[in-house]
């Protein structure tokens, strides 16, 4: 699982750079400044949580467990829901599509996924690790 999270982080990191470049250059010519700011928020949170996902992939070897897996799953879900909904809102703004503005209601669900991922990481970090348990000297 740790390798899979690292692979997802690599893909999402590359995508973050590409989307950030698009937002900084081409997007400013298509939409208003407030829509660009919305898009940039999506990129920023995608980047933050791509690094968090990378950390999960690395830490998983030291602190394996279902809760750590859930942290990674929540970070990926948060990127899709939070950042994805902001990208979609920017697209809808650029194409002047009407009737789908309710997409913004998805954004807070992504935020909740981010929070859940961080809480899972905390919970897993509070558990005694197998390495720590093996290295304890027996009581004499």
Interatomic CA distance for residues 92 and 81, integer angstroms = 16
pLDDT at 97: 76
Contact 46, 15 (CB under 8 A): yes
Q: Where are the domains of the chain?
A: 2-126
Contact 69, 1 (CB under 8 A): yes
Q: pLDDT averaged over the chain? A: 90
From the number of C-beta atoms within 10 Å of its C-beta (0-12, 13-18, 19+), residue 88 rates as: middle
Interatomic CA distance for residues 132 and 134, integer angstroms = 6
Which position has the token pair 């859930």?
70
Judged by DSSP in three states, 129 sits in coil
Interatomic CA distance for residues 123 and 125, integer angstroms = 5
Q: Does residue 132 surpass a pLDDT of 80?
A: no
pLDDT > 70 fraction of the chain, expressed in percent and rounded: 89
pTM of this structure: 0.88
- Which of 36-45, 83-92, 130-139 comes out lowest in average pLDDT? 130-139
pLDDT at 140: 47
Helices (H), 28-80: 33-59, 66-78
Please tell me which residue, 68 or 100, carries the higher pLDDT value: 68
pLDDT at 1: 79
| pLDDT per position as a tens digit, 19-76 | 999 999 899 888 999 999 999 999 999 999 999 999 999 999 999 999 999 999 999 9
- CA-nearest of 100, 135, 124, 131 to 52 is 124
pLDDT at 16: 97
- List the structure tokens of 26: 């081409």
Q: Does residue 77 surpass a pLDDT of 80?
A: yes
Q: Does residue 104 surpass a pLDDT of 90?
A: no
- List the structure tokens of 101: 């503005």
- CA-nearest of 107, 101, 109, 100 to 86 is 107
């Amino acid at each position: 699982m740790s390798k899979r999270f690292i692979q997802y982080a690599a893909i999402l990191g590359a995508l973050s750079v590409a989307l950030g470049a698009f937002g900084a250059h081409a997007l400013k010519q298509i939409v208003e400044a407030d829509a660009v700011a919305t898009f940039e928020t999506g990129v920023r949170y995608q980047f933050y949580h791509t690094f968090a996902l990378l950390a999960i992939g690395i830490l998983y070897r030291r602190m394996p467990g279902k809760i750590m897996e859930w942290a990674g799953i929540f970070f990926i879900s948060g990127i899709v829901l939070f950042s994805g909904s902001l990208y979609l809102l920017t697209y809808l703004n650029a194409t002047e599509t009407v009737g789908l503005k309710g997409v913004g209601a998805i954004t807070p669900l992504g935020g909740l996924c981010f929070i859940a991922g961080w809480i899972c990481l905390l919970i897993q970090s509070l558990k005694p690790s197998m390495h720590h348990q093996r290295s304890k000297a027996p009581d004499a």
